[in-house]
Amino acid sequence: MIADDEAWAAVLARDRSYDGSFVTGVLSTGIYCRPSCSARHPRRANVRFFKDGGVAREAGLRPCLRCLPDDVSREERAVLMAIEAIKAAGQNLALADLAARCGYSPTHFQRVFARATGLSPAAYARALQKERMAEVLSGAERVTDAIYDAGFSGPSRFYAAAEERLGMTASAWANGGHGVTIRWAVVPTSLGEMLVAATDRGVCRLSFNEDAAALRARFPNATLEQGGEVFARLLAQVIAAVETPGDHSHIPIDVRGTAFQEAVWQALRAIPPGETRSYADIAAAVGKPGAVRAAGSANGANNVAVLIPCHRVIRSDGSLGGYAYGLEIKQRLLDKEREANRG
Ligand SMILES: [Zn+2]
- In the chain, beta strands by DSSP E: 23-26, 31-33, 47-50, 62-63, 181-189, 192-199, 202-208, 223-226, 277-278, 313-314
pLDDT, tens digit (0-9, with 9 covering 90-100), for 300-312: 888 999 999 999 9
d(CA 224, CA 207): 16
Out of 119-133, 197-211, 262-276, 311-325, pick the least confident: 119-133
Check whether 205 has a pLDDT greater than 50: yes
Closest CA to 176 of 210, 223, 127: 223
On whether the CB atoms of residues 61 and 30 are closer than 8 A, the answer is: yes
Minimum mean pLDDT range among 44-58, 166-180, 216-230: 166-180
Q: Distance from the CA of 25 to the center of ligand 1, in angstroms?
A: 10
Instruction: State the Cα–Cα distance between residues 245 and 238, nearest whole angstrom.
Output: 10
Determine the longest span between alpha carbons in the chain, in angstroms.
Answer: 72
What percentage of the chain exceeds 90 in pLDDT?
A: 23
Average pLDDT over residues 134-163: 40
Q: Is-above-0.75 flag for pTM?
A: no
Q: Please, which residues have CB within 8 angstroms of residue 295's CB and are 6 or more apart in sequence? A: 264, 279, 280, 282, 283, 286, 288
Please say whether the beta carbons of 232 and 183 come within 8 A.
no
Distance 294 CA to ligand 1 centre (A): 23
C-alpha–C-alpha distance, residues 171 and 150, integer Å: 8
Instruction: Quote the pLDDT of residue 26.
Output: 95
Return the closest-CA partner of residue 324 out of 214, 246, 238, 189. Answer: 214
Ligand 1 centroid – CA 94 distance (Å):
31
> Terminus-to-terminus CA distance in the chain, angstroms?
46
3 state SS of 14: coil
Residue 169: closest CA among 200, 141, 138, 199: 138
C-alpha of residue 284 to centroid of ligand 1, in Å: 22
- Which residues are tagged catalytic? 33, 310
Burial class (CB in 10 A: 0-12, 13-18, 19+), 70: middle
What are the tens digits of pLDDT across the range 36-53? 888 889 999 999 999 999
Q: How far is the CA of 288 from the centre of ligand 1 (A)?
A: 21
Least confident of 41-45, 59-63, 249-253: 249-253
Averaged pLDDT, 2-17 = 86
Higher pLDDT, 228 or 51: 51
- Residue 253 pairs in a beta bridge with 203
Q: What percent of the chain has pLDDT over 70?
A: 84
Task: Please state the φ and ψ torsions of residue 10, each to the nearest 5 degrees.
Answer: -65, -40
